[in-house]
Amino acid sequence: MSSPMLEDPLFQFAVLVLFSAAAQFIFRRNPTFRLIANIFFFALLTSLLVKHKIAPYTSDMGEAQDLFRRVFVGIAKAVWWIGGAMVLASSVRLFLIFERIPREGRLLQDLLVAIIYVGAALSVVSYVFDVPVGTLIATSGVFAIVLGLALQSTLNDVFSGIALNLGRHYSVGDWIVLDDGVQGRVVETNWRSTHLLNGTNDLVIVPNSALAKARLTNLTSPEEAHGVSLKIRLVPSNTPAAIEETMRAVLLSSNAILKSPAPVVSVTGLDSNAVEFELSFRVSGLGEATAARNEIYDLIYRHAKAAGLQLASPAGSPAAPVADPAEAAGKHPNSAWRLLNAIPLFSTLTEDEKESLAADMKRLSFRKDALIATQDTSLTSLMIVRRGVAVVERKEGGETIELARIAPGDLFGERGVLMGALEPANIRALTSVVVYEIAKDHLAAIMQERPALAEELGLLLSRRIEAEKHHFSAGVSAEASHPTTLSTRIRHLFQIPHSSWQ
């Protein structure tokens, strides 16, 4: 026989409320389980009210009852409306995602949830307190006008924020630039303002009303790839078409820019002092733009020097005197000597050592698409690119993986020269390529006298092996790529005394 207390609707209602409060506390960080708990509570409360013939959607309190009973019915009906609002609000939070990253940018969700709770509150006023909602709204009109005037600035931000979210000009995570120069990555949007994190990691708070009136540029949307343009002026010592071909080689040799869509070189100006070019390319993200610019400027210098081109003075300034190539070469017209002199690796050599090394260097030419070095073969000479662009490609598992692009001034073959190791990839000419070859025996003799040269080559090889690990699985061990291990092997192979290595 059941206890009378268990049959008491007041006791059952209290148990349900305690259950709901406990569920909200336990599942406060799990929206899915919180929604299930809200649905379960609302269903049980509805069954309880129906069982005791309490209609929460009418203002009827039932037959004549004592004051305590009427208060209980009113509270139960109010809780029923609030419980229904909680179910709808939880559903909105869980299923209606208006932004790509809803955690910080959910203003529209907040607005919809607010409408749900306002509707529940008006229902409680109408069906529990039996107050006509229309009359209540009419009598509160004056108060609403006064409140609106007092909160004019705040409401302007709120409605501007709603308009911005509906327009979806940006989302959390996008990088935007305003017409006044303010820029940053959107980290949060709320009722009053939008928070930007700028390039110096400072938080910039922009009121929504100001943002709605500003002209903004979204650098991230509709895709992450970001376009970059550089302008360069060169002395017209050759035809614009020939100089343009050199600038195309600059973009072709870059490792930092996207290969698709293809970068573009445009001639934007020509006068007696300079040919002006614009180099346009894309990078994978805004954060890669600075590194790409730096690389492109370095490649412009290297390719221009390899092609005998000279940078021009800025527009409007006096033209710089054009250097005579023969005079610039001086007593060393040899191209191999000039190449050695331009590479920091050989800066420790004396003039006589450079002349001796240059005299022994052999010039090799390769046509476009020719193989310069073959995968899994060992090179016995150090190669220096004089002109053109080559690509390092590894064939693995039926796929071709691009490891790097090689430009004028780059070296390769140090793996075979220093360690007798095999080349991990093919090296193929993307344009016509000119390289100079330094024989292993001559290089060994120089390293005997200049151990620092062997050390620099070991560091170059170490960095190259470390970079290759990110592209393919087959390769040398971590120990073999360590600079100390490589230095030990180089000392042993070339019989360099330990004392002279310091």
Tens-digit pLDDT profile for residues 471-488 = 655 444 444 445 555 565
Degrees to nearest 5, angle at CA 281 with 280 and 286: 120
Max mean pLDDT among 53-62, 130-139, 381-390 falls in 381-390
For 179, 222, 395, the CA distances from 217, given in Å and listed in that order, are 8, 11, 42
Structure tokens at 418: 């220093």
pLDDT tens string 276-329: 999 999 998 887 888 999 999 999 999 998 888 999 988 777 665 655 554 444
Q: Mean pLDDT of all residues in the chain?
A: 78
d(C-alpha 42, C-alpha 46), whole Å: 6
Is the pLDDT reported for residue 275 higher than 50?
yes
Q: Grade residue 336 by pLDDT with cuts at 50, 70 and 90.
A: confident
Least confident segment among 62-76, 97-111, 265-279? 97-111
Could you tell me the pLDDT band of residue 90, with boundaries at 50, 70 and 90?
confident
Amino acid at 340: L
Confidence category of residue 249, pLDDT binned at 50, 70, 90: very high
What pTM value is reported for the model?
Answer: 0.63
Average pLDDT over residues 93-112: 56
> Are 189 and 165 in contact, with CB atoms under 8 Å apart?
yes
Residue 501 has pLDDT above 50, yes or no: no
pLDDT tens across 428-469, in order? 999 999 999 988 888 888 887 777 777 777 788 788 777 777
Helix (H) or strand (E) holding 213: helix 208-213
CB-CB contact of 425 with 393 (8 Å): yes
Which residues, 6 or more positions from 109, have their beta carbon under 8 angstroms from its beta carbon? 92, 93, 96, 98, 102
Residue 311 CB neighbour total at 10 angstroms: 15
